[in-house]
Structure 1
Amino acid sequence: MASSSLTLGYVPGGTPAKWARIWAERHPDIPLHLRTVAAVDAADEVRAGAFDVAVLRLPADTSGLAVIPLYEETTVAVVPTDHILSAADELTASDLDDEPTLVPLDHVVDWADAPGAPVDHRPETTASAIELVAAGLGVLIVPQSLARLYHRKDLTYRPIADAPACPVVLAVPEGSQSALVEDFIGIVRGRKPGSSRTQAEPKPKRTAREKTLAKQAARAAAGKIARQPGQAKRGRR
């Protein structure tokens, strides 16, 4: 029986499969439990100890959490396949100015001046909003992973070139990093088996002044060696 385990929470659209596979290869006797969590609840769940580590999206209240940036997602607009916007390979905010937009209660794109005209009804979830997009009631702006997660044959999505990206981070409760959590963070960061944090992370680069001082110290040390006691200078009586 395994003596321990690790629980990873992740928001919808998160893709922990690669990390889970590597974990299973390196720790076959230590289960990694995967659990989805609503984006709006993710940070609170980590603070409450429901997960050892979690993949969540920003913005979120990260007080009491240690946060490691992972990547940024492209922001896209989800539209019906026969919508006029589907004719373009890429959109800009101005393309959406006159479009009705759906803003679900679990909306995760932090865009203060988002284009479009929000419809009065706010669906409870992104999944519900997708249904309304299919019904022709508006456009939905989401991270690309959510557009893929809720893909339907009658819908498509297009990247919005000037939209803000959607940051994704790894979060753990501050001060609670166990050896297992550190191992998982190492996997996420691409460390090889058996490598330490020191080995995996590059040494900080020296400034130009630090390099100059080091050269001066090396020259001074070389001069002292050349003039060791007992070695008299030539021409001196």
Structure 2
Amino acid sequence: MLTLSFVTGTEPEKWFHRFNERTKDETLHTFSSDDPLESLLAAQDQLGLAKDQDIPSADLALVRLPDARLDELGDHVHIVQLYAEQPGIAFSKEHTLSLYETVSQEELAGEIINYRWLSGQKLDIAQIRTGLSVAAANVGVVLAPRPILKVLAKKEVVHRGFIGDSPESSIALVWYKDRDCAAIQDFVGIAKGRTANSSRQALPKRSARQKTLDKQKRKAQQSTPRFAKAKNSQIGRRKKKRR
């Protein structure tokens, strides 16, 4: 079974569906988390501290970058970046800013900032939730990656693109190199857009008996009159080319 933890603000259900369709012999277990990297670290927890803290473990994590902990892991993990996130802003649907498709820094003059993600800070999803609850009462705004605002905003709150000073964020798949396997490679390929016919898609291994049967089948096909006729035709064409 492959266990994957995905960060709040992502919507990877289409990848899950494709994986289940294409990889019949592998079970995929998924769960959402504000900190999926914590679950990945828990899988390598030799002291069992994560188990004591009731932290679910994961083989593969869909995380939000930047994350300073990945610098500490260094060469122990694979990191595959998938896409960048757009900066966003959220506020009450009754707010005057809701008239705009995008909001600039200049238009925030005098606004109450319930939460704003700044460069060098860890993104605090709990504070984003709190800030959105306040914004729902038409008080203040929240600035964060727009996909998070889209997922967490209630019906009283709308989100828009933001143009201004804002940290860059992106989404990536992370897993330990020593836990790499065909199932992980299959999922990574799907997330990167590979099709079901891609050569990178892992194929079920054939048993020794199946290999023998396939070999016998090929020999039987080669002994048929049709195969012999086709082979002689190819030889004839080669001789003509040589002339």
TM interval, short-chain normalised? 0.5 to 0.7
Query: Secondary structure of 1:160's partner?
Result: strand
RMSD: 2.5
- Hey, which of these two has a bigger chunk of helix by percent? 2
1:77 aligns with 2:89: yes
Displacement of 1:152: 2.6
What is the one-letter code of the residue matched to 1:93?
Q
Q: TM-score scaled to structure 2, two decimals? A: 0.66
- Could you tell me which residue of structure 1 aligns to residue 17 of structure 2? 21
Query: Secondary structure of 1:182's partner?
Result: helix
Structure 2: distance between partners of 1:192 and 1:158: 33
Structure 1: distance between partners of 2:190 and 2:114: 37
Structure 1: distance between partners of 2:140 and 2:170: 25
Structure 1: distance between partners of 2:26 and 2:38: 25
1:47 aligns with 2:41: yes
CA contact (8 A) 1:123 1:129 kept: no
Structure 2: distance between partners of 1:154 and 1:192: 39
- Could you tell me which residue of structure 2 aligns to residue 223 of structure 1? none
What is the one-letter code of the residue matched to 1:128?
T
1:181 aligns with 2:187: no
In structure 2, relative to structure 1, the CA distance for the partners of 1:53 and 1:110 (3 Å cut) is farther
What is the one-letter code of the residue matched to 1:26?
R
Displacement of 1:101: 1.0
- Could you tell me which residue of structure 1 aligns to residue 128 of structure 2? 126
Structure 2: distance between partners of 1:172 and 1:32: 15
CA contact (8 A) 1:77 1:140 kept: yes
CA contact (8 A) 2:9 2:152 kept: no
Number of residues of Structure 1 aligned to a counterpart in Structure 2: 180
What is the one-letter code of the residue matched to 2:86?
T
Structure 2: distance between partners of 1:178 and 1:143: 32
Q: TM-score scaled to structure 1, two decimals? A: 0.68
In structure 2, relative to structure 1, the CA distance for the partners of 1:110 and 1:21 (3 Å cut) is farther
Structure 1 segments unaligned to the other structure (5+ residues): 114-121, 199-237
Match of 1:67 among 79, 100, 107: 79
Structure 2: distance between partners of 1:150 and 1:123: 9
